[in-house]
Amino acid sequence: MKREPLKLAWLPVLLALTACTAQLDELQQWTENERRSAKPSVKRLEPPKKFEPQAYEAMTGVEPFSTQKLTVAAKQEAAQPNSMLAAEMNRRREPLEAYPLDSMSMVGSMSRQEGRFAILKVDNLLYYVKRGDYLGLNFGRVLKVEETEISLREIVQDPSGEWVERVTTLQLQEAAR
């Protein structure tokens, strides 16, 4: 008697499967009809254009990424009598001019008899900076050292290629606790 309810339980499953196969046959027949009635439209490919090589005539000029081009430009700037860079190119570079300003952080300031000094941290080393010192990659010269910031004058190129002065500040960095 226990086997009879088990046989009856399979009956709805078998009925559902037979209903699915009828719907599946209809679906297959519909897709086959649609496939036959569809006509593809493919555009013709154009034949490739004939390649005509051009001779490279710029070999006699200066390479765009060579150091020779930079030295020529620097000499031209230094040769101009009213150029702002003329004085900057002829002086000896200071150690802090090898680092960009965003790699420096002002961590403090102090006053002595000679004047106010700022304390800069660069590559985990501390440097004392006073008015008149140079720092940064853009010929930055310290104009003023205050308790919370350093003001400096930089010489940069504007979009038209002219050298102009701009004033930049380095703010005191608060210690992270």
Residue of higher predicted confidence among 54 and 82: 54
d(CA 150, CA 118): 7
Query: Is 20 in the same domain as 89?
Result: no
| pLDDT at 81 (0 to 100) | 52
CATH of the domain at 95: 2.30.30.830
Q: What is the mean pLDDT of residues 27-46?
A: 87
96 & 159 share domain: yes
Which string of DSSP letters, residue by residue, matches 98-114? GS-GGG-EEEEEEEETT
Tell me: do 29 and 93 sit in the same domain. no
**Mind listing the pLDDT tens digit for each residue in 91-132?**
889 999 999 999 999 999 999 888 899 999 999 999 999 999
- pLDDT computed for residue 176 by the predictor: 56
β-pairing verdict for 149-157 and 105-112? unpaired
Q: For 151, list phi and psi in degrees, rounded to 5.
A: -105, 135
User: Do 163 and 91 share a structural domain?
Assistant: yes
Instruction: Report how many domains make up the chain.
Output: 2
- Does residue 120 sit within a domain? yes
Residue 124, in any domain of the structure? yes
Rounded Cα–Cα distance for residues 104 and 149 (Å): 12
For residues 20 and 90, state if they share a domain. Answer: no
**Its pTM surpasses 0.95:** no
Q: Is residue 54 part of a domain?
A: no
The answer, yes or no, to whether residue 6 has pLDDT greater than 70, is no
- The domain in which residue 27 lies consists of 1-33
Asked whether residue 19 falls in the same domain as residue 91, the answer is no
Q: Are residues 94 and 166 in the same domain?
A: yes
Instruction: Give CA angle at 122 (134, 104), nearest 5°.
Output: 65
Q: Which run of H or of E encompasses 70?
A: helix 67-79
- The model's pLDDT over 42-62, given as tens digits with 9 standing for 90+, comes to 888 999 999 999 888 877 776
End-to-end Cα, the chain, rounded Å: 80
Q: Is the pLDDT of residue 82 over 60?
A: no
Considering the domain boundaries, does residue 119 fall inside one?
Answer: yes
Is residue 19 domain-shared with residue 98, that is, in the same domain?
no
